[in-house]
Chain A
Amino acid sequence: MNTLILRTIVPLLTGLMVIYSIVVLLAGHNDPGGGFIGGLIAASAFALYGIACGVAPVRRALYFHPVSIAAFGMLLSALSGVISLYKGVPFLTGLWWFPEIAKGVEVPLSTPLMFDIGVWLVVVGSLVTIALALEEKE
């Protein structure tokens, strides 16, 4: 779609949407949100970018091939379950780690978060693949 308004506003909007999708992803453990819904938001951001500016800039912006992104997400999610092997607990048990990055500031990291990031990448990768294939001429 070749309108000046869209082409001007969409890059900005895409950035905002991706940031928001990450917020939703990180909120996911205790509040509404999570990898799947966050991934949908990010995927629609890239799809919008593709509609406004063409498919090639999206591919350039993503750098990695979307299919590889999805596969990396799958790997991340699978491995998040395997970590529990070293703790002597069953597959996919939630393990938490609270590193102190500054005095009194703890960042809660966990295997569920890793799993969720994996889901986010799978959703982004696979939906962007589909969207770009549909947006591409031919």
Chain B
Amino acid sequence: MKTISTEGAMLQTATAAVDWYILAPVVIPLVTAAILIIFRRAVGLHPYIALLALAANIYASFELLMKVKLEGPLAMTMGNWLPPFGISFAADLLGAILTLTSSLAVFCVALYGMGDASSRERRFGFYPLILTLLVGVNGSFLTGDIFNLYVWFEVFVISSFGLIVLGGTRKQLDGAVKYCFLSLIATTLFLIATGYLYGLYGTLNMADLSKIVAPLKFEGPLVVVSALYLLAFSMKAAAFPLYFWLPASYHTPKIVVSALFAGLLTKVGAYSLLRTFTITLPVAGDSWLMDVMFYVGVGTAICGALGAIAQTDLRRLFSFLLVASIGFMLIGISIGTETALSATIFYMVHSILIMTALFLIAGVIYEHRGSLDLRSLSGMNKDLPLLSLLFLGLGFVAMGFPPFSGFWPKMILISETIKQEVYLGTFAIIFSSFLSIISLGRAFAFGFWRPLTAGAEDEVAIQAKQLTVYSKLQYVPVLLLMILVTLVGLLPGYLYELSSLGAKGLVDTSSYIAAVFGGAL
């Protein structure tokens, strides 16, 4: 038999063990989820094993971030093949920051789940599902291959299907149907676009595509593919006019599950837009398609905030605020300058943390009052001072008041819209923020300031009797997130440095391409 030389196709040098930090945020939760499912009857142990794994995951993501910050993007191509033959994983700063943030958010959610998920729900796989959801989300942030991105989308979408029906009430199934239907359409469009892309250029490796597409003109089939990606990812990100599914479904699952979804899932859509229109298809990022995205972003920011002031259900209110925050990201991506992109990355980190925190605090309120309806909530500043303080604090963060984390990216983004003379964007961001101040202020005034409504005393007393030791514990994850966003707000320099370095890597793609192709460039 003739031996075939694999020198041109396979890696000949050894891979250092430290490079494995790029896989750890995917492999650790995956293996842990498998172990938890095998021992599905030992539900008492589930939270502890999951928390341990998530802590290890945070550590690994942190190490990855530090390594990427020091040495530039890190890449590994599976199975010893050389890119573009094998599937590449490539972590640049954008991916590494978001991996760390999402790992932190999932840790808080898992902590909250200790008191919230019943043993029946645990047996149905609450912890394994949040772990596989994290696998999908981290995989999306770290992969360097656009078809692989699709696979990770499927991983977290299927996990989220499992989580959204956990509990199985009629209302949940109703929300789940809307959510599943839209997710399926979005991922199918994504798959179709990916098929076209492969047919056009014969590769799906993002770095390889970047090289091939960069010198091309933005015309013909490339426009179709880019528009399909814009549509598919905007659907996942809940952008105007396709955001209706989000407020219609996010208030139905368990509160802890909706916190997880609000924190992570839409951000993956926004991340994919960011990745696709900077590194993968650079010409599309400089085209008229960005104007479309700009108007979509303006519409999202304004409609989301307008929706928020009309809500009486606290979780629906937060869902609309989430939609509005996606609008800011889209505006940032569409402007596309380095400053705007770094503000977007900063804002994404802020948004993951604050949205998780807001939904979790809704859970704490529900625990104490048995309702999330602003028409019946009242008088919480009297008997729940810590909760009031936290809600006020998180409200300030979400509105973008200094010195919290929401202030800096919004300020940078506003100054950048003025510099680029897109005053519509300036208006949209300020108007939307103004509306969110009204909606959150209204929620605070009704739920906390308003004296306890007549007849509500009995209900409050009944609810207070049902509190367990876990009800106190549920403050812990909210406090953790509050501390995080305050730290980010007080010391913005560090995250800003990371996000501006990340944005630099998106504008100048050479370091990313070099990392993926290694010496074989």
Interface residues of A (CB under 8 A from B): 65, 67-68, 70-72, 74-75, 78-79, 81-82, 84-85, 88-94
Contact = CB atoms under 8 A, between A and B. Distances in A.
Closest 4 CB pairs of A and B: A71-B37, A75-B34, A88-B14, A93-B80
Chain B interface size band reads 20 to 34
A5 B39 CA distance: 39
Interface string B2-37: 000000000100111101100100010011011111
Given A72-B34, A78-B30, A78-B34, A89 B40 contact: no
Contact of B38 (A75, A81, A88, A89): A75
B183 interface: no
Centre residue among A90, A92, A94 by max chain B CB count within 10 A: A90
B31 A79 contact: yes
Interface in B17-69: 17, 19-20, 23, 27, 30-31, 33-38, 40
Nearest to B132: A74
28 contacts: A65-B40, A67-B37, A68-B40, A71-B34, A71-B36, A71-B38, A71-B128, A72-B34, A72-B38, A74-B33, A74-B34, A75-B31, A75-B34, A75-B38, A78-B27, A78-B30, A78-B31, A78-B34, A81-B27, A82-B31, A85-B20, A88-B17, A90-B15, A90-B76, A90-B77, A91-B23, A91-B79, A94-B79
Centre residue among B20, B23, B76, B80 by max chain A CB count within 10 A: B80
Contacts of A82: 27, 31
Contacts of B490: none
B37 A90 contact: no
Contacts of A71: 33-38, 40, 128
Contacts of A68: 37-38, 40
B520 interface: no
Contact of B14 (A72, A75, A89): A89
Interface of B: 11, 14-17, 19-20, 23, 27, 30-31, 33-38, 40, 76-80, 86, 89, 128
Contacts of B15: 88-90
A79 B79 CA distance: 14
Contacts of B27: 78, 81-82, 91
Contacts of B16: 88
Nearest to B36: A71
Contacts, number: 68
B211 to A, nearest CB: 21
A84 B14 CA distance: 11
Interface residues of B, dominant DSSP: helix
A84 B17 CA distance: 10
A89 B34 contact: no
A90 B30 CA distance: 18
Given A71-B36, A94-B79, 10 more contacts: A68-B38, A68-B40, A71-B38, A71-B128, A74-B37, A75-B34, A78-B30, A78-B31, A82-B27, A94-B80
B515 to A, nearest CB: 14
B30 A74 contact: yes
A70 B38 CA distance: 8
A90 B80 contact: yes
Given A79-B31, A90-B79, A92-B79, A85 B38 contact: no
A111 B37 CA distance: 23
A85 B40 CA distance: 28
B149 to A, nearest CB: 17
Contacts of B76: 90-91
A85 B17 contact: yes
Nearest to B86: A90
A65 B35 CA distance: 14
A93 B87 CA distance: 12
Contacts of A70: 37
B298 to A, nearest CB: 42
A74 B135 CA distance: 13
A72 B37 CA distance: 8
A3 B45 CA distance: 46
B11 A90 contact: yes
B11 to A, nearest CB: 7
Contact of A90 (B33, B35, B36, B78): B78
Nearest to A111: B79
Contacts of B86: 90
B361 to A, nearest CB: 34
